[in-house]
Chain A
Amino acid sequence: MSSLHALSQSDLLPRRRRDWLFGLGLTIVVIVVALAIVGPYVGPYDPTLTTPNVSVPPPSLSEIPGLFGAWISGSLEVPPNWMGTDASGFDVFSRVIAAPRTDLVIALVANGLSLLLGVFLGLIAGYYRNAATELMMRVSDVMQSFPVFISAMVLVALAGRSTSNIVIALAFVYTPIYVRLTRAEVMSQKVRGFVEAARALGNTELSIAIRHVLPNSLTPALIQASVTIGFAILLTAGLSFVGAGVRPPTPEWGLMISTGANQIILGEWWPSVFPGIAISLTVFGFAVLGNALERRYDAS
């Protein structure tokens, strides 16, 4: 039975559909990461400097090919504003591709911190169950009972608007998720046969926890991380949108949407819509990748 079971689960699911989604997610994530590395340098304009041309609309679809040809041939004096410029004269395109540097770094660092902390605390809470670890879980309950956005906003408001503070705030609000996930997995892994076998072989508890239980308990947290990065980007942008994030003129999607939003009423949609699309695609990319990873690991 078991082999048949394994067969149907791992090999008999429609493989093509899963791979297509995985590929799409992966592509988006790779692009975003690449932009985080080179984005600020490859844009046609400096993302932090204004130009005199304010509120230039993006070229219409029919103009794009001609404009593109002219740009390639070097017949243009200044590069075209592919996504127009905002009310301050910033080139929207340059800022959209420069923003991942800010957004992704904040999300990644915050995520990495919370993952490390969360897994460590989760391992302890799951492996040693006592009053102290129970207290820890109750504290994390309290933390989780506030909406993530509110907690982060309050933390930043208290600590001051700096990138490091935002990172810390994000790490703080995401840690309980990893604690909980890891703890649950540790609790189910620590009663497995190989753990008991390790104990029977004479391993110390610490060595069992680190060598046997931890490696087998990481999967859910890691899968969660890829999903969380997307949401962390969203959260960073959200904080900026409400004015609790990075300061202008740092290129950042949330900030761009926030400043662009004032112009929408005048019909200038482009300063906020393009960063909005960028956020959506990025979050979607990470979510799809996370799902694909989760399914792959579930099957094993």
Chain B
Amino acid sequence: MTRLEATALAEFSVVEPVAARTVLSVENLVVGYPVDGRMIKPVDGLSFKVREREVVGLIGDAGSGKSTAALALLGLARAPGKILGGRVEFDGRDLLKLPDPEIRAIRGRDIAIIVQNPRSSLNPMLRIGKQIGYAYQAHNAASGPQLRRKAIDMLRMVGINDPERRADPYAHELSGGMAQRALIAMALSSKPKLLIADEPTSGLDVTIQAQFLDEMWNTVQETGSAILLITQELGTLANYCDRVLVLHEGRIVEDAPVREFFANPQHPYSRQILKLQRERGSSLGLESPEGGVKQLLKTTDLRKTFAVQHTRKTIQAVDKVSLEIGRGETLGLVGESGSGKTTVGRCLLRLLEPTSGSIVFNGEDLVKLPPNDMRRYRSKLQIVFQDPFDSLNPRWTIRRILTEPLDLHSDLSTADKNKRAEELIDLVDLDRSLLDRKPRGLGAGALQRINIARALACNPEFIVLDEPTSVLSPRARVGLIELLVRLQKELGISYLFISHDLTTVRYLCHKVSVMYLGQIVETGTVEQVFSRPRHPYSQALLSAHLFPDPTDRRVDKVIPAALEGEIPSPIDLPNGCYLASRCPHVVDACRTIPQTLDPVGGGQEVRCWRAVAGDVTAFAGGARMSDNIDDVVIVGAGASGAAVAWRLARAGLKVTCLEQGDWVRYDEVPSFRTDWEVARQTSHHPNPNVRQNPVDYPVDDSEAAIKPFLYNAVGGSTILWGAHFPRFRPSDFRVKTLDGVGDDWPISYEDLAPYYEENDRMMGVSGLAGDPGNPPRLARQMPPLPLGRGGETMAAAFDRLGWHWWPCDVAINSTPYGEGRGGCNNCGPCDLGCPSGARSSSDVTYWPQAIRAGAKLITGARVFEIETDSQGRATGVAYYDRDGIARRHRAHVVTLAANGLGTARLMLLSKSKRFPNGIANDTDLVGRRLMHHPTGMVTGTFDEAIDGYAGPFAVSILCQHFYETDAARGFVRGYQMQLVRSNGPVGTAVGGYLPRVPWGERHHETFRNTFARTASLTVTTEDLPRLDNRVTLSDTLTDRWGIPAPKMTYSLDQNTRDMIEHGIKSATRAFEEAGATAVRAERLVVNAGFHLLGTACMGSDPDTSVVDGDCRAHGVPNLMIVDGSVFTTSAALNPTPTIQAVALRAADWLIAARRGVEVAA
């Protein structure tokens, strides 16, 4: 480490992480209830802490004291219970010692509580707005209209549209989801420091459960509260909690970060409840029994309708359901409540008589059996119900319960029946002493085992399991699932497993069918349906389910919009698709075409014609990387993204960069191939519309006079570039002052000078300091590249004309420089990948160092939205990963470095309530002022070979004689001329910088006269910003993930045309002076949109610019834009060094201002 670096690091290390403050600290809390003269203590020595902004999950079995503990935290106990001891320190005060009025003030204001069943917690007699108002008033001085305003604000905060109207209804008039949001609004109305949520979602449907928790989580992120979330669900823990507390017998037996808890649970209880997760890992479903399965039960077009009372209408509870279950196989039947899955189970056993259809069991149609024969059959088909407390006759002993089926179906003697009862109780792992007890007083798990034992009594072949685990505590659930798997293995029984708990279905089932409104909408193996759900409803169901996997948390992902509205009434169903009113993929035809269950391959069947046609994009879960929120997320890993990532990472910031392209593999680049010149016209064409690689997005350039050139990879467009490395001139930052056109930059050349130097050092520049036409600079890292014969010839001509010229600064090593990078060998195909690593692209310069400094780079990530909170601060970005899975990446600061096209597109895509026109686009300037460098090209042909094919692709000399404004020339601003070398043989044959060499008899002669004998001067003009030249979103064109493509609208003005004309004359003059025999000009190079500038311009006035001089977006304090988009004017030369210098300067501002940047909560 150099001394300089060491000093720099020492400076950066003063930025230490701020330790989270403890909000709640519980020590040795004891709550007791007097029972028969002695105390039982449901909470006995409870100790834990909750820190600021932390979501802490508290899990434990029924009766472990969770709810008692929650109340005790508020200093409350249900009578006749008493808090017997301990401390509950909140905000530095012991709540248990506070006098009543003070603790009342804390309840509700500083500590809010949401209890089980949110719906019933609302007062049915009060309008929603009033209730929220009262909750607020309890702790704040406010009245009347003020309260109403506050209530409306709160409703808006929890995401209720049109809160003015929603404040008026009574609780019963709101939908379930709305009621919950209102409740959250109430609990959070006083921005409590701690929110205690006691199983807030028990009894809710999966989809609503996830919505509720999302809402709670998001709101808390905004208010900055901490949450103590009491739950019995591992899924809730994994997806929402940062830390897990395990409550067992009244004490905390484990306290671990959520990932650690799931990965490596310590306490035996924790290990028990996580057993399935740990044993089965992520494997999906069970292996089908070996040797294929023989069909056991098959239903065809099973229907069940119920008459609606007092009308002639019917409810279609089960609609043409066809199922097939093999021997020893488990079929999962999933769906929300009301989907008809339970009715199917009842119909299979004819506990409900099917309206029509057949149920073939072992070759016999059960529907046709007379009742007496059916009764006989019942020993072979059994059922286990959801509620174990309800499904055993409370007046009978367990023995009598277990022998009842034997009474009915066997002629066993009493002694044999008793023996069988003992066998059965052994089979389900219960103690024989239970046989003479009655069900009362037994736990749900034991009762459910007895239910199973009873079902097994007569050796059935098939058991319907109707949500058998839904009321069980976590530990009992695990035990029961294991039991069911074991019994199937030992006894070869088939199960129909009806459940809404997809986690359990995944463990227990071979196949799964998804039901919606009485129909099966998708069926397939567990693997198929869980990893590639095809039906939009299956997708919604899966995306709403909380899988117990803390590495793939819901809060870290972008969740596709939940289905709109609620399940429609099953009366009067439409002709077409039943989901049409809620489906995100709906088209008009869906509403009229009756949907059928059609195969999509591999045995999977889907009831959605669009899914069958492949029009429904897949959604699936998957792993995600970051643990917690990054300091900075950078979009784009090109010239500027790389520079910023390196600078920030080196300063100790947690940085992640998302790049849609991949790393370039230098052992596979076209430079090594003989067809390298063809690659330049195809797979490595700089125009993405020509190249069409999978990582590229299309650009609508139908209205653009200049076509876009860019590349998507780590390194961005520097991958294909010529590495010309000139700096802007001081005058370029002050064009308005000097010439009255364009705008002045808010920063000057002097502001950037140190960053130019730093950037030159990082990239490595070959060149010669001392150009009299430009400000002085440090010695270049390497001597200039050879000018070549063409360069020398033209330099001599410029000298004779008395025009300025200088060897161009180039980011190509003339001698070895940087890590493992050699010097240029003059081979030529620079843009197709430099074999010696001499040409600098940011993937070989900045990135290795950035990654070493700790920056993370995620490739294949196409960002499609910058997410914001209600205050309009950025919270992170949303992107599609390589597989098209939508993900979310949170960060305190979002930095855009996706070039003038990509950045503008992304900003326009990021519409929200706060930013209806796209983020930071209140002035409608985003995308406008698009600037290129309109380029004319003049090619001179010489009599002798000047070896123009040799040497790097880059410019050799540049002439800035016509750079500044001269009124006499008839245009403002100016241009520079750059000498570029000629093409290789194929390039020459197909035209090079000239019209193509004609085929036919003159071909060879023309080729000989051209190849190696040409040199070209580009006339690079300064483009002045115009509002009409702009990037918008295409209405029709999208990329492969369905994101709207950018559209470029661009035309040239007269000033530019005049400038190019003038430049062509000057260049022609120079060639003539140099002795060229033929000079040809191309007036406008169409394929020259390589500098995409100005679409989010920099300025000090927020009304006329998008970012300030430090690259911070006006109006979004934690959004930075660091690429060429921010250029106020374009200058007339290659922008990359300036882009990178501006980016480095912005990074330094961020480092300095780190603690002061206003970030989203």
A binds B: yes
Q: List A residues at the B interface (Cβ < 8 Å).
A: 1-4, 7-8, 11-12, 192-194, 196-204, 212, 215-216, 300
Interface contact B35-A12, CB-CB below 8 Å = yes
Q: How far is the CA of A196 from the CA of B350 in the complex (A)?
A: 11
Alpha-carbon separation in the docked complex, A216 to B33 (Å): 32
Beta-carbon contact of A192 and B390 below 8 Å = yes
Cross-interface CB contact of B351 among A4, A196, A204, A300, cutoff 8 Å: A196
User: A200-B351, A201-B454 known; A194 and B409 CB under 8 Å?
Assistant: no
Which residue in A11, A194, A204 is a CB contact (below 8 Å) of B392?
A194
Contact check, A2 vs B62: say whether CB atoms are below 8 A apart.
Answer: yes
Option from B79, B383, B389, B393 in Cβ contact (under 8 Å) with A2? B389
Please give me the residue from chain A that is nearest to B391 by CB atom.
A193
Of A11, A201, A204, A300, most buried by chain B (CB within 10 Å of CB) is A201
Closest to B67 in A: A1
Assembled-state Cα–Cα distance A8/B62 (Å): 15
Known: A3-B443, A4-B63, A196-B391. 17 other contacts (CB 8 A): A1-B67, A2-B444, A11-B36, A12-B33, A12-B79, A193-B390, A194-B390, A194-B393, A196-B385, A197-B451, A197-B454, A198-B404, A200-B349, A201-B378, A202-B405, A215-B395, A300-B440
Could you say which residues of chain A place their CB within 8 Å of the CB of B35? 7, 11-12
By size class, the interface of chain B is 35 or more
> Is B1003 an interface position by the 8 A CB rule?
no
Q: With A201-B404, A202-B378 as given contacts, are A3 and B454 in contact (CB-CB < 8 Å)?
A: no
> Complex formed: what's the CA distance from A204 to B408 in Å?
10
A11, B40: Cα distance in complex, Å: 12
Interchain residue pairs with CB less than 8 A apart (16): A1-B62, A2-B63, A3-B63, A7-B33, A7-B35, A193-B385, A193-B391, A196-B385, A196-B391, A197-B385, A200-B378, A200-B382, A201-B404, A202-B379, A204-B375, A215-B395
Chain A residues, CB < 8 A from B395: 215-216
A202 — which chain B residues lie within 8 A by C-beta? 375-376, 378-379, 405, 408-409
B67: which A residues are within 8 A, CB to CB?
1, 4
B14-54 with Cβ < 8 A to chain A: 33-36, 42
B937 to chain A, nearest CB (A): 80
Identify which of B33, B394, B408, B440 contacts A201 (C-beta below 8 A): B408
Residues of the B chain whose Cβ atoms lie less than 8 Å from the Cβ of A203:
375, 404, 408
Q: State the CA gap A1–B116 with chains docked (Å).
A: 11
Task: Check A197–B378 contact: CB distance below 8 A.
Answer: no
Give chain B nearest CB distance to A249 CB in angstroms. Answer: 48
Given known contacts A1-B67, A216-B395, A200 and B33 CB-to-CB distance under 8 angstroms: no
A204 CB, min distance to chain B CBs, angstroms: 7
Judge if B387 is at the interface, Cβ distance under 8 Å: yes
- Interface secondary structure of A, over-half rule: helix
Chain B residues contacting A216 (CB-CB under 8 Å) are 393-395
B78 within 8 A of A: yes
A-facing residues in B59-115 (Cβ within 8 Å): 62-63, 67-68, 78-80
Complex alpha-carbon distance, A4 and B34, angstroms? 13
Contact residues in B for A11 (Cβ distance below 8 Å): 35-36
Q: A11-B35, A11-B36, A216-B393 are in contact. Are A201 and B405 (CB under 8 A)?
A: yes
How far apart sit A193 and B439, CA to CA, in the bound complex (Å)? 13
Residue of A nearest to B439 (CB): A194
Return B464 CB to nearest CB of chain A, in Å: 9
Q: Counting chain B CB atoms within 10 Å of each CB, which of A7, A212, A300 scores highest? A: A7
Please give, as numbers and ranges, the residues of chain A lying within 8 Å of B376 by CB-CB distance. Answer: 202
Closest to A193 in B: B391
From B62, B80, B387, B394, A3 is in contact (CB under 8 Å) with B62
* In the complex, chain A residues whose CB is within 8 Å of the CB of B394: 194, 216
Which residues of the other chain, B, contact A199 by a CB distance below 8 angstroms? 351
Residues of A close to B409: CB separation below 8 A: 202
- On whether the beta carbons of A198 and B393 are closer than 8 Å, the reply is yes
Taking the closest CB of chain B, its distance from the CB of A213, in whole angstroms, is 10
Q: What A residues does B382 contact at CB under 8 A?
A: 200-201
* Chain B residue with Cβ nearest A194: B393
B79 surroundings in chain A (CB, below 8 A): 12
Residue among A3, A12, A194, A198 with most chain B CB within 10 A:
A194
Residues in chain A near residue B454, CB distance under 8 A: 197, 201
User: Which residue on A lies nearest to B116, using beta carbons?
Assistant: A1
CA distance A212 to B393 in the complex (A): 7
Distance A201 CA – B380 CA, assembled complex (angstroms): 10
Question: What's the Cα separation between A193 and B375 when bound, in Å?
Answer: 18
A103 to B65, CA, bound (A): 54
Please measure, in the bound complex, the distance between the C-alpha atom of A197 and the C-alpha atom of B379, giving whole angstroms.
12
A192 to B392, CA, bound (A): 9
The distance from the CB of B61 to the nearest CB of chain A, in whole angstroms, is: 10
- With a cutoff of 8 Å between Cβ atoms, the chain A residues found around residue B387 in the complex are 193
Docked complex Cα distance between A216 and B396 (Å): 10
Q: How far is the CB of A108 from chain B (nearest CB, A)?
A: 26
Is A194 a contact partner of B378 (Cβ separation < 8 A)?
A: no
The contact of B68 among A4, A192, A204, by CB within 8 Å, is A4
Closest CB in chain B relative to A97 CB, distance in Å: 40
User: Which residues in A have their C-beta under 8 angstroms from that of B385?
Assistant: 193, 196-197
Taking the closest CB of chain B, its distance from the CB of A3, in whole angstroms, is: 4
Cα–Cα, bound, A193→B408 (Å)? 19
Chain B residues within an 8 Å CB radius of A12 = 33-35, 79-80
CB distance from A182 to the nearest CB of B (A): 16
Which residue from chain A places its CB closest to the CB of B441 in the assembled complex?
A6
Check A4 against B393 for contact (C-beta < 8 Å). no
Segment 681-722 of B: residues with Cβ below 8 Å from A? none
Within 8 A of A (CB), among B370-423: 375-376, 378-379, 381-383, 385-387, 389-395, 404-405, 408-409
List chain B residues, Cβ under 8 A from A3: 62-63, 443
Assembly CA distance A111 to B178 (angstroms): 53
Q: CA–CA, A114 to B936, complex, Å? A: 112
When C-beta atoms are compared, the residue in chain A nearest to B34 turns out to be A12
For B269-305 the 0/1 string (1 means CB < 8 A from A) is: 0000000000000000000000000000000000000
Closest to A197 in B: B391
Q: How far is the CB of A252 from chain B (nearest CB, A)?
A: 40
- Give Cα distance in the complex from A194 to B33, angstroms: 33
Among B436-462, those with CB < 8 Å from A are 440, 443-444, 451, 454
- A216 vs B390: C-alpha distance in the bound complex, in angstroms? 12
Output the least CB separation between A189 and chain B (Å): 10
The complex places the Cα of A199 from the Cα of B378 at a distance, in Å, of 9
A224 CB to closest chain B CB (Å) equals 19
Chain B residues with Cβ below 8 Å from A7 are 33, 35
A216 nearest CB neighbor, chain B only? B395
Docked Cα-Cα span, A193 to B385, in Å, equals: 7
Which of chain B's residues have a CB closer than 8 A to the CB of A212? 393
Distance between Cα atoms of A3 and B442 in the complex (Å): 10
Considering the complex of A and B, which 3 residue pairs feature the smallest CB-CB distances, nearest first?
Answer: A193-B391, A193-B390, A202-B378
Within the assembled complex, what's the spacing in Å between the Cα atoms of A65 and B1126?
A: 115
Task: Let me know if B383 and A197 touch, CB within 8 A.
Answer: yes
**Which residue of the partner chain B has the closest CB to A204?**
B375
Q: Nearest residue in A to B198 (C-beta to C-beta)?
A: A1
Bound complex: CA A3 to CA B376 (Å): 38
A207 to chain B, nearest CB (A): 9
Measured between beta carbons, the chain B residues less than 8 angstroms from A194 are 390-394
CA distance A234 to B451 in the complex (A): 49
Q: Which residue of B lies closest to A14 (CB)?
A: B80
Kindly provide the distance from the CB of A85 to the nearest chain B CB, expressed in whole angstroms. 53
A12 CA to B392 CA, complexed, in Å: 26
The CA-CA distance from A217 to B32 in the complex, in Å, is 37
Chain B residues within 8 Å of A2, by CB: 62-63, 389, 444
**Which partner residue on chain A sits nearest B385 by CB separation?**
A193
Alpha-carbon distance A3/B445, docked complex (angstroms): 13
Residues of B within 8 A of A4 (CB): 42, 63, 67-68
CA distance A204 to B372 in the complex (A): 9
- Nearest B residue to A12 by beta-carbon distance? B80
Q: Least Cβ distance of B410 to chain A in Å?
A: 11
Question: Which residue of B62, B383, B389, B392 is within 8 Å of A200 (Cβ)?
Answer: B383
Bound CA span A1–B71, Å? 13
CB closest chain-A residue, reference B388 = A193
